[in-house]
Amino acid sequence: LAVPPHGCWSTTVEVLPSTDGIEVASSFPLDRPVEATAPAGRMREWQRSTPDVHCDDPVLQSALKRSVLDLGALRISDPDFPDTDVIAAGAPWFMALFGRDSLLTSWLMLPWDLELARGTLHTLARLQGREVDPLSEEEPGRILHEVRLGIDESRALGGSRLYFGTVDATPLFVMLLGRAVRWGLPAADIASLLPAADRALEWIAKYGDSDGDGFVEYQRKTDRGLLNQGWKDSQDSIVFRDGKLARGPIALAEVQGYVYAAYCARADLADASGDPVAAREWRERAAELKRRFNEAFWLPDEGYFALALDGDKRSVDALASNQGHCLWTGIVDESKAPSVAAALMSDRMFSGWGVRTLATDMAAFNPVSYHNGSVWPHDNALIVQGLCRYGFVAQAAELARGLVEASAHFGGRLPELFCGFSREDVPIPVGYPTSCSPQAWAAAAPLGVVSALLGLQADATGAEPVLRVTCNVPPEWGRVGIERLALGDRYLSVDSATLPHGRTVELVPALG
């Protein structure tokens, strides 16, 4: 091939795999423009179905637009159930269904899209544990950790395409169902999913609390599974203040919060179905767990919650971001919340771009580690929601601004994580070398912080659906407006410019 000076030449090479001699159809056939292909049409339909967001702040606008595009691109479906979407955890390493990731992404997306939560719940219920298998860590009622299919099956843990070694996906499943009902999940879906939620709660009682102390713990069943089975699942992530690794069984602080919120969600579901006796029992169970958690995990000399309890019931005394999830779920006593918020937003935790996974004065701190000092956007989005829940709106706004400003240095796309260097020392956020980008729950983080600072709380369980809004959008963002926000089969628009700041108002969406 000879290309003359200043000339150009191009070609397209198409590679199609085949199975047993049968070629897979091309997603992007060469005989038609890209915009005419099925994936492009699917993306257009996704964009049409999500609410329109308009922001005065161009950095926030760019982050939200990028989030919607990335989440649309990460959707996958089972060929046997092509009309049910779930979300892949992230590219390039985790293009598969992960229980925890899909549940948290769906939670952060719920004000914007109910169908993703619906598809996630039905898919995970269909794959819910049915028997005891130590190798895959499957147990009746347990929600899976990950699915590996096809050529990716060689990466599966436990020798099975389904691996169940996660301690938190099961309570998160019940939490998400409770919230999806509030956003208008149809009655037929509720009826089919409620048995799966009850099986999940049975797993919590029978298998999750293995020693009967009232807290949910984990310990892998074989040497092939994950050593740590919370969201910080690297081998060195659960450490004491002095850097010593915790030994199992391990009860994570945030997991107790998830279980508490699952009990509260089940109580709400009982109320919605007209069963006040069951509702009262679930709330009593939640209240008892909250009481015991605040006694067992609190470190009064430090003013924060332990990261975990180890196998000897000792407090794993590292200051970590996990307790921000405890604010999010509501398990923290009101009297302790100010101290927790202060710890999270202290210089040793808040880098200026986001809250680090581990405080700078802990022995294991490393700003370039995966879980011991880095900043994870989804972690911070949940902390923002937790701070707002307890009324720390100024701190939530400061954290949200830092996170959104960080996105501008990554082309508007928040990666899975970035390094935990101080903003004062390094004026730009430093990318983590092998971070997924795009990654599902990171992509959902900007949507999660906006819905938190708008204070969007839906209740579609009554005769008339209601959206409660408590607007605490920071002045630096200017006007934030959402059009075509769906609540069940109704729609409404929310505009921060027309809402009183810091005061809750109730909006009733219109039909059609």
Instruction: Report residue 149's pLDDT band, with 50, 70 and 90 as the boundaries.
Output: low
How many Cβ atoms sit within 10 Å of the Cβ of residue 501? 11
For residue 282, pLDDT beyond 90: yes
The single residue listed with the structure tokens 């019940």 is 174
**Burial class of residue 440 (count of CB atoms within 10 Å of its CB; 0-12, 13-18, 19+):** buried
Query: How many Cα atoms sit within 13 Å of 354 on the Cβ side?
Result: 38
Residue count of the chain, please give it: 512
pLDDT tens digits, 283-327: 999 999 999 999 999 999 999 999 999 999 999 999 999 999 999
CA–CA gap between residue 397 and residue 496 (Å, rounded): 14
For residue 152, pLDDT beyond 80: no
CA angle 160, 166, 170 (to 5 degrees): 110
Sign of CA dihedral 44, 46, 51, 54: negative
CA–CA gap between residue 266 and residue 372 (Å, rounded): 34
Helix (H), strand (E) at residue 493: strand 490-495
Give the whole-number percent of the chain exceeding pLDDT 90: 87
SS (H, E, C) 384-421: HHHHHHCCCHHHHHHHHHHHHHHHHCCCCCCCCCECCC
Separation in Å, CA 205 to CA 49, 170, 214, 283, 325 = 39, 11, 8, 15, 21
pLDDT tens digits, 195-251: 999 999 999 999 999 899 999 999 999 888 899 999 999 999 999 999 999 998 999
Separation in Å, CA 343 to CA 72, 400, 414, 418 = 36, 17, 24, 21
CA–CA gap between residue 309 and residue 92 (Å, rounded): 34
CA–CA gap between residue 71 and residue 80 (Å, rounded): 22
Instruction: Report residue 153's pLDDT band, with 50, 70 and 90 as the boundaries.
Output: low
Write the DSSP assignment of 70-81 as a string of letters.
Answer: HHHHTEEE-TTS
Cβ neighbours of residue 2 under 8 Å, at least 6 residues apart? none
pLDDT tens digits, 338-389: 999 999 999 999 999 999 999 999 999 999 999 999 999 999 999 999 999 9
Helices assigned H by DSSP within 351-392: 377-389
Per-residue pLDDT, 154: 56
The single residue listed with the structure tokens 């969406």 is 509
SS (H, E, C) 228-295: CCCCCCCCCCCECCCCCECCCCEEEHHHHHHHHHHHHHHHHHHHHCCCHHHHHHHHHHHHHHHHHHHH
Predicted model pTM: 0.94
